[in-house]
Every structure is written in structure tokens, then in C-alpha cells.
Homo-oligomer: A and B are copies of this chain.
Amino acid sequence: MSREPAEHGQVLHRMPIELRWRDLDAFNHVNNSNFMTYLEEARIRWFESLGEEWVTENTAPLLAAVQMNYRQPIPYPGSIVVELTADRVGSTSVTLGHRITSADGAVLHADGHVVMVWIDRASGRPTALPDPVRKMAGA
């Protein structure tokens, strides 16, 4: 599990997210699980921005894997920016890189990547990426 800054692909989406006090845990730090929620929010807003359905009656995206480096605690109150990149696009999966930074971009709080697959909801098996996702991700 490398801690070097990752080489990411082209930027797909950037969104600011306002922290909530409830994101803090008993150590008074933004809890590690909330970093996943920030990524999820950015992914979903990116999907929404594509202007076409990314969830249908037949198919839905699923998180297959995540790798996250926690680099600097996130101070509350404030907001952060999540940047998503297209690191690799396959036929049934896409690897989305991410950087979570301070609002001004000066502090890198976390980086890493996730692997998303689209599945057939009936069979639970991988299916082709939706066209708008595939196109926007650069394949």
C-alpha cells in the first residue's frame, strides 16, 4: 500500500462538501468512515451531472474496492473539496482516483482510488458500464 502521491487521470468532477459536527468522532477528528461518505457524495453528484440514468431498473453501480491514504486530519468547522479522476476505464469497471483537499486546495487531506463495477440487479453479475459513464470517463 504505497503512500506516494498517486498518478491520477483527467479530472472528472470537483465538488466542495461542507463538514458537519457529527462527522467528528470521540477523538475530535473527522472519522475515517466519513471520508468514504465524502467520496460517495462526489461520485453520485458526478453521476447526476451526466444527465442520463446511472441507476436503472436493471443495473446499478457497486463499490468493488477502495484504497485511501489519510494524510492530514480535516479541521471542523469548514469545508473540503473532493476531486475525482478517471484513472482506468474497463468494460465493466472504472477506477476513479480521488483527492480530498482543503477548500483552497493547499492541504491534501487524503488521496487514493476506488473501483466501481456496474452489476445486473437480477443476477448480481457485472454488466457493461452505462454509456455516459464510459464516455465521460474517457473510454
Interfacial residues, chain A to chain B (CB-CB below 8 A):
1, 3, 17-18, 20-22, 24-29, 31-34, 36-37, 40-41, 44-45, 48, 60, 62-70, 73, 77, 95, 112-113, 115
Find the B residue at minimum CB distance from A3.
Answer: B65
Find the B residue at minimum CB distance from A115.
Answer: B1
The 6 A-B pairs of least Cβ separation, nearest first, read A33-B36, A24-B26, A33-B33, A32-B63, A67-B67, A26-B28
Residues of B within 8 A of A70 (CB): 62-66
A29 to B40, CA, bound (A): 14
Residues of B within 8 A of A44 (CB): 21, 77
So how many copies of this chain end up in the complex?
A: 4
Establish whether residues A21 and B40, one from each chain, have CB atoms under 8 Å apart when the complex forms.
yes
Residues of B within 8 A of A27 (CB): 60
A17 to B34, CA, bound (A): 17
Establish whether residues B66 and A37, one from each chain, have CB atoms under 8 Å apart when the complex forms.
no
- How distant is A103 from chain B, measured CB to nearest CB, in Å? 14
Residues of B within 8 A of A95 (CB): 1
Establish whether residues B33 and A26, one from each chain, have CB atoms under 8 Å apart when the complex forms.
no
Q: What would be 24 A-B contacts, judged by CB atoms less than 8 Å apart?
A: A1-B65, A1-B95, A1-B115, A3-B64, A17-B20, A20-B37, A21-B26, A22-B31, A22-B37, A22-B40, A22-B41, A24-B25, A26-B28, A32-B36, A32-B40, A32-B66, A33-B37, A44-B77, A45-B77, A64-B70, A65-B68, A66-B66, A66-B68, A67-B68
